[in-house]
Amino acid sequence: MAGAVMRPLAAGGGMKRQWHDGRPMKNVASDFIKPNNRLTSFERLEIYNRQYWFRLKDCFYEDYPGLRAILGEHRFERMACAYLARHPSQSFTLRNLGRFLVDFLDAEPRWLGRLRGPALDMARLEWAHIEAFDNEARPALEIDSLLDADPADIRLQLQPHLTLLQLGYELDEFLIHVKQGAGLRTEASNAMEQPRTRKEGRRKRHLQPKTMFLAVHRHDDTVYYKRLHAGQFRLLSAFRAGATLAGACAELAESADANVAEVKSWFETWAALGWFCKLA
Amino acid sequence: MRPDGRAPIFFKNLMPANAFNGMTDYGIGIGLRVPHYNHILSEKPDCDWFEIISENFMVDGGRPLRVLDQILEQYQVVQHGVSMYFGSAEPLNREHLKKLKRLVKRTNTPWLSDHLCWGSVDGRYTHDLLPMPYTRAAAKATARKIREARDFLEVPIAVENVSSYAEFHVSEMTEWEFLNEVVERADCGILLDVNNIYVSSRNHNFDPFEYVNSVPAERVAQFHIAGHSKYERYILDTHDHPVIDPVWRLYAHAIGRVGKTATLLEWDARIPSFDEVHNEALKAGQYLENIESKTVAA
């Protein structure tokens, strides 16, 4: 029964008329499901088949409004069905439904058409948002506790809810616009600093390639997208990769992206946002 | 004692608490849903208790847990699950149970409920509450999993009858006989969803009162009530409407047998205001009061 329930629907939105081996689906259904005086076995099984896909697609639509806006309804629908057929839920919670989406789209870009670049970036951003929403927040590290430590021994851990992204498009504002979010504090994010007056369609058409660095994180139970400079991104990425404080700073110094005063202010901001945490 | 050896009804009416709901005496609650968070946290409305969907809070951090902790400061909370799948053939997932137990410790839920259904195969989840074939082998296997879960979680478990749209040729008994077989074997409680009984009775042409009359009253830990959607040839359990009169009548009959028992209204789609949902739930109060007055008279 599970195979029939999870099988993709026919083009018209009903259950497919033939089983994998070519048998009529009505025969397959009647083998194990009783009909009643109003519904055939096929129709009773079809209720579950349709419910399965409606439920999963609803969840997917809710989790990926930005990707939907970029791809358009029809392309998004086709992509979602292909993804969900390839990667049925393997988790007790629908929260994890999109866990493999970026890998899937990376491997099968045909679902994205000519919008591959922004669509793939948006999938990464929206998954980062999901992770930021309810991933663990460990106790923040008191930077003062590191004062006596040798920088060559210090490995700063980043919060599990923090994701660092290098994007090829300015998608943070686009996604915020799609979600109609408001009220982000500039203290935690600079994603709202520019006016949001253009229509979504015009925004989509005007998505121009532009490298940007983003930290997707949670602060006071709200998810924020904070833009980073290249140097900030490099430094934080080094920490995430396990570099020591000395090693990460040496690497940054080589690229000459920042001076000491700037780097100090970065650390102060990141510490204030609680991005550094103690080991699990 | 009645002929079947169970305690007389008037006696149980004075003792709504039982081992299957942690010897509690909860009143009328509603499901805790996101659209009501702000109202509940800011207005702190009177509500006997909230039922939470366990899976929504089996996360590592963020707003869900923050809200839950604030709710727990003010209200009684009971956990209700949708993914234990006691009826699935695969063994219980230990990691899932560990997460669930962490939540049980957080909420101090006096009992925990999930559904008498299956929904996963080989690690793939349908996220649906699929009906079971009503066989003795299935009852035995399901009861074993319920016992395992209860022993691990160390909290009473109540299983809920689901609404269904299909019946299997291989079934050897009625749904209520299957429910009874499972709960007796597992020695667990029942979350009796009278709306589900009504929905299934219409979809499968049986008498819902016969179902209610067959349930071991002493095992009923909790009731669910809800609304549904009626289509031309079947009824869908959508939880997006008020409770209809036939379901209220079935509820009245059920509490007449079982006694005053914790009752919860589910409203999961097209959710109206907190007050509208709560007022709908409170309609159960008049039926519970009738039971109380009959008890006093007895």
**pLDDT for B156 beyond 60:** yes
Instruction: State the Cα–Cα distance between residues B12 and B217, nearest whole angstrom.
Output: 9
Contact B137, B147 (CB under 8 A): no
Instruction: State the Cα–Cα distance between residues A176 and A196, nearest whole angstrom.
Output: 9
Cβ-count burial B149-162 (b if 16+ within 10 Å, e if not): bbeebebbbbbbbb
Position B4 scores a pLDDT of 47
For residue A54, give the amino acid letter. Answer: F
Alpha carbon separation from B81 to B57, B86, B100 (Å, rounded): 10, 11, 9
Average pLDDT over residues A254-268: 83
* Closest CA in chain B for residue A223: B62
Average pLDDT over residues B185-203: 98
**pLDDT for B273 beyond 50:** yes
Position B292 scores a pLDDT of 67
Query: What are the pLDDT digits (tens) for B84-136?
Result: 999 999 999 999 999 999 999 999 999 999 999 999 999 999 999 999 999 99
DSSP A59-114: HHHHH-HHHHHHH-HHHHHHHHHHHHHHS---SSSGGGTTTTHHHHHHH-GGGTGG
**pLDDT for A240 beyond 90:** yes
Position A252 scores a pLDDT of 84
- Give percent of chain A above pLDDT 70: 89
Contacts of B130 in chain A (CB under 8 A): 1-2, 5, 48
Q: Is B236 on the interface with A (CB under 8 A)?
A: yes
Beta strand spans in chain A (E): 157-158, 163-169, 209-219, 222-228, 276-277
Greater confidence (B67 vs A256) lies with: B67
Are residues A44 and B166, on separate chains, in Cβ contact within 8 Å?
yes
Q: Is B70 on the interface with A (CB under 8 A)?
A: no
Contact B174, B161 (CB under 8 A): no
Instruction: State the Cα–Cα distance between residues B128 and B82, nearest whole angstrom.
Output: 8
* Closest CA in chain A for residue B120: A2
Residue contacts between A and B (CB atoms, under 8 Å): 102
Contacts of A34 in chain B (CB under 8 A): 166-169
Contacts of A47 in chain B (CB under 8 A): 165-166, 234, 236
Provide the 10 A C-beta neighbour count for residue B55.
Answer: 23
For residue B99, give the amino acid letter. Answer: K
Confidence check on the interface: ipTM exceeds 0.90, yes or no: yes
Average pLDDT over residues A58-77: 96
Position A149 scores a pLDDT of 85
Q: Are strands B124-130 and B76-80 parallel, antiparallel or unpaired?
A: unpaired
Q: Is B60 on the interface with A (CB under 8 A)?
A: yes
Position B25 scores a pLDDT of 87
Instruction: State the Cα–Cα distance between residues B136 and B141, nearest whole angstrom.
Output: 9
Greater confidence (B85 vs A250) lies with: B85
* Closest CA in chain A for residue B123: A90
Are residues A134 and B125, on separate chains, in Cβ contact within 8 Å?
no
Are residues B169 and A51, on separate chains, in Cβ contact within 8 Å?
no
Query: Which of A56, A63, A91, A93 to substitute to test the interface with B, most B CBs within 10 Å?
Result: A93
CA B252 to chain centre: 16
Position A258 scores a pLDDT of 72
**Residue A207 pLDDT grade (very low, low, confident, very high; cuts 50, 70, 90):** confident
Instruction: State the Cα–Cα distance between residues A255 and B211, nearest whole angstrom.
Output: 75
Position A142 scores a pLDDT of 85
Provide the 10 A C-beta neighbour count for residue A31.
Answer: 10
Domains of chain B by range and CATH? Answer: 9-297 (3.20.20.150)
Query: Which of B127, B162, B168 to substitute to test the interface with A, most A CBs within 10 Å?
Result: B127
Position A278 scores a pLDDT of 72
- Between the two ends of chain B, the Cα-to-Cα distance in Å is 15
Phi-psi region of A245 (alpha: psi -120 to 50; beta: other; left: phi over 0): alpha
Helix (H/G/I), strand (E/B), else coil: B28: strand
Instruction: State the Cα–Cα distance between residues B214 and A275, nearest whole angstrom.
Output: 58
DSSP A153-180: T--PEEPTT-EEEEEEE-HHHHHHHHHT
Helix (H/G/I), strand (E/B), else coil: B192: strand
Are residues B165 and A5, on separate chains, in Cβ contact within 8 Å?
no
* Structure tokens belonging to residue A194: 């520019």
* Closest CA in chain A for residue B232: A38
Q: What is the largest CA-CA distance in chain A?
A: 80
Q: Is A221 on the interface with B (CB under 8 A)?
A: yes
Query: What are the pLDDT digits (tens) for A146-201?
Result: 888 888 888 999 999 999 999 999 999 999 999 874 333 333 444 333 444 445 55
Contacts of A32 in chain B (CB under 8 A): 168-170
**Residue A205 pLDDT grade (very low, low, confident, very high; cuts 50, 70, 90):** low
Nearest to A90 among B56, B123, B203 (CB): B123
Give the domain ranges of chain A: 2-131, 138-277
Average pLDDT over residues B174-202: 98
Instruction: State the Cα–Cα distance between residues B265 and B93, nearest whole angstrom.
Output: 29
Q: Tell the residue number behind the tokens 């035995």, with chain if given.
A: B140
Nearest to B125 among A51, A90, A160 (CB): A90
Provide the mean pLDDT of chain A.
Answer: 89
Greater confidence (B16 vs B116) lies with: B116
Average pLDDT over residues A229-245: 94
Provide the mean pLDDT of chain B.
Answer: 93
* Structure tokens belonging to residue A233: 């991104």
**Residue B1 pLDDT grade (very low, low, confident, very high; cuts 50, 70, 90):** very low
B98 to chain A nearest CA, in Å? 13
